[in-house]
Amino acid sequence: MYTFAATKAGYAKLWDAAKVLPAHAQAALSAATRINEHRLADFNPVEARTGVPWYMVGCLLYRESSLNFNTYLGNGQPLDRVTTEVPKGRGPFSSFEAGAVDALEHEGMAGIAPGDWTIERVLYWCERFNGQGYFSHGNSPYLWSWTDQYHGGKFTSDGVYDASVWDQQGGIVAILKQMEANGLARFTREPKGPPVTTVPTTTVTVPQVNFAQIETALKTVAGFLPMLSGFLPPPIGEIATIGLPIIENGLNLAAELQSGSGSFNVVIAKHLRTLADQLDPPK
């Protein structure tokens, strides 16, 4: 069983692409008009009891029995006898409404919230109502006949598919397209998904470094340290002596950064390792 979640994007894409073939546009509009004429008396009561949109009930009846209200919605067989085709063993029923409610409840459509009946969900359940066997062959004529999204092929009986047969009856999409184009019905759409939140980037301005000034200052300090270490008593003098190689390492770092000879991170890491070895020589 193909789920709605797995197929809704495909239905959305096909619906957006589908166009009613000009040769069938008037017939599709005629079917749409007939369905609309029975809205109040026949289809609205079914919608009120099941939640299934009136136009969907009408399209299903059109496909099953060419809008014969003396037939069972589930397979087009007469209302006054027990069904012998899938679904078998249903009925008899006293009215079209009773039979339609039974068929929709039997298929699991009753109880879906009215706001959830998007056009994608309508198409999914219409195809599931007829059977999902066309997923292995091509677009179902039950939905796409009379549109440019139907390319032939039909189940001529339960489980028997013939790729050479063309379904001559109008598909549900052609009728719904004409309903929408002529203001007979409005359809909602599945949301595209949660909006993508863009995290604003923070631009950090790195101040320009005057390497020449840094180099001059370090050389000045390096020149004073040996003399300073001789005048200071221990252990302060020894500390001043330790600072000399650190200053020299800083001079090398400044020169290498200024030359641009390597990645900033790599250069810094190399000199930090050198500095660590000077402060704590390997044993």
| Dihedral (CA of 181, 183, 184, 188) sign | positive
Tell me how far apart the 2 most distant CA atoms of the chain are, in Å.
120
Choose among 249, 242, 241, 251: nearest CA to 273.
249
| Dihedral (CA of 274, 276, 281, 283) sign | negative
Q: Let me know: does 222 contact 247? Beta carbons within 8 Å.
A: yes
Residues 6 or more apart whose CB falls under 8 angstroms from that of 222 comprise 244, 247, 248, 251
How far apart are the C-alpha atoms of 168 and 164, rounded to whole Å?
13
Work out the number of other CB atoms within 10 angstroms of the CB of residue 262.
Answer: 12
Residue type at 16 in one-letter notation: D
Q: Which residues of the chain have pLDDT under 70?
A: 193-215, 217-283
- Residue with tokens 């939640």, as numbered in its chain: 51
DSSP-derived 3-state class of residue 129: helix
pLDDT value of position 274: 61
pLDDT value of position 13: 97
Find the DSSP H helices in 93-206. Answer: 96-107, 119-130, 141-144, 172-181
pLDDT value of position 89: 97
Q: What is the CA radius of gyration of the chain?
A: 40
Domain ranges of the chain: 4-181, 211-279
pLDDT value of position 193: 65
| Full DSSP string of 11-68 | HHHHHHH--B-GGGHHHHHHHHHHHHHTIIIIIHHHHHHH---HHHHHHHHHHHHSS-
pLDDT value of position 250: 65
Q: Let me know: does 207 contact 157? Beta carbons within 8 Å.
A: no
Query: How many helical (H) and strand (E) elements, i.e. helices and strands, does the chain have?
Result: 11, 2
Work out the number of other CB atoms within 10 angstroms of the CB of residue 70.
Answer: 11
- Helix H or strand E segment including 253: helix 236-259
